[in-house]
Amino acid sequence: MPSGPPTCHPIQANFIAVREVRYCLFRPSLPGEVLEDSEVSITQIVSPYDDSKSSIQITLKAEFGFDREKDSSPPPYGISVTITGEFKVDQSRFPKEKVVAWAKGAAPFVLYPYLRQELHAATARSGGPSLILPLLEVPTVRIAQQEKLAPAQE
């Protein structure tokens, strides 16, 4: 670990909030029933960048069990969890033209643990089998700073 205080990222969360949790029981759970987390769909919404507030909002929504074939056996429940985060951008340290790309690419990895926890907690309280979203590998992204090159010595 480097010595000294850590450097904060130029984009920081103003707030992260649970916007909605929707749960619908379809049938009693079967003993030992296990649900496939691969059947959870996750969608993302990115607001336009608010230049006056130097902020952007990102929403992640996880859904399970509502989108099923009519003739198939339903899961024991359907659940939808929506999380929204608002992020403040230090424009002196982060280029404004890269904010939306950050919001689409990196911000979901910031919000995902909150979504994962809320989905698990809500399904664990249901009395049926709980859903646990998998851990994800987070890609490392850095903004390349253009270095000034000294003129060549002749």
Q: Which of 69, 139, 146, 53 is nearest to 104 (CA)?
A: 139
The chain-wide mean pLDDT, for the chain, equals: 89
Question: How far is Cα of residue 35 from the mean position of the Cα atoms in its chain?
Answer: 21
Using a pLDDT cut of 70, give the percent of the chain over it.
87
State pTM to two decimals: 0.83
Tell me if 103 sits within 8 A of 86, measured CB to CB.
Answer: no
Q: Report pLDDT for 77.
A: 94
Q: Report pLDDT for 154.
A: 47
Per-residue pLDDT at 38 exceeds 80: yes
Q: Which of 28, 38, 41, 23 is nearest to 123 (CA)?
A: 23
Q: Can you tell me the mean pLDDT for 110-117?
A: 97
Task: Put the strands of the sheet holding 11-25 in their side by side order.
Answer: 11-25, 77-89, 55-64, 41-46
- Give the model confidence (pLDDT) of 52-85 as tens digits: 999 999 999 999 998 877 657 889 999 999 999 9
Other CB atoms within 10 A of residue 128 CB: 20
Angle at 58 between CA 57 and CA 59, to 5 degrees: 125
Q: Which of 26, 44, 45 is nearest to 35 (CA)?
A: 26
- Sketch the domain layout of the chain as residue ranges: 11-20+49-124
- Give the model confidence (pLDDT) of 118-146 as tens digits: 999 999 998 889 999 999 887 775 666 55
Q: Report pLDDT for 72.
A: 74
Q: Report pLDDT for 131.
A: 94
